[in-house]
Structure 1
Amino acid sequence: MKAKSFSGMRCSIAGALELIGDRWAFLIIRDLSLGVRRFDDLRASIGIPAATLSARLRHLVASDIVERVRYQDRPPRDAYRLTQKGADLWMVGLALREWGDRWDASGFGGPPVETFDRETGRRLTLALVDADDGLPVSPARIELRPGPAADDTIRHLLNVPHGAPS
């Protein structure tokens, strides 16, 4: 059964999921961000069937998240690397990992990987920061407002009256 397309849905999360594809694709992105580049290495690391990996790589290349790079002509061999668009998914991966660690999503009783500051050795966590001063903002202070692409459905979800300024 083919998954429902989120194409055209007025939602940045749905659009991002449409571009990424599925959970296999996100594991490919994870491994590429860790420096795995070759098809066979990706396949072994993830445990993904070859046909599935080929299809996901084609989708990620078409979505401009991954690019193919020829490293050998005879026989032709390609490596894969993240584009800037793909590299920008790094924070999404960290957010998923932090959530998975908090709720023991792996089922192993602790985080398989942790994030530390290379200079201080202190543990790091993701946070929302003020765009002007760079200081962390607590979740209690976060407010969602309609953006430039908002429609009446989004305004309703955010409890903003029709015609009110964004």
Structure 2
Amino acid sequence: MALLLGLALLPGCFDLREPAPAGAPSEWAQPTSPDLLITNFVTAVQRLNPGNYERCFAPQFRFYPDPAAAGSANAALFANWGVREELDYFNSLRRRTPATSPNQLLLSARRDQLFSADSAEVSAQYQLTLAQQDTAFRYRVLEGNLRLLLRRRNNEWQIAAWRDVATSPRPVWTQAKMYFIRN
């Protein structure tokens, strides 16, 4: 009986992804260094590639929003924000973006701090220009500071945690995540 129950639940363990178009060049480089991981991350955001975006994150990933942008009313939304929520937001954004209009993500003033051979932090100012078409979301350019805690496992770097920090009165990435996970 337990075996039948286990077999019945087995298909739910696998999530299907959209395959890459035939003949499309791979945009993924094995992230054997923090630089390669950040390149993969930026490319996945710009090209709205959910498969490569997901590969950037560790299974235990956590996102920490900018506190002022999230506000206390959204504390529950971000309390356990992990890979699943990250993909839900990303896919919602992707559905509202024309295929011919990629996003633009610029990172500047990057600082890397290596804590150990398997742990590092990358901090950078970001400017994310969204090409999405949802007129209810009124922000096109998002700016702030991202702090990524990186971990290396099996010689590949992944994002284990991401903290969004406002650096100006402009909207931050947290606001896009709040909107697109709900809509």
Kindly name which structure, 1 or 2, has the bigger radius of gyration based on alpha carbons. Answer: 1
Per chain length, whose mean CA-contact separation is higher, i.e. which structure has more relative contact order (CA < 8 Å, sep 6+)?
Answer: 2
Alignment TM-score, normalising by the size of structure 2: 0.22
TM-score (norm 1): 0.24
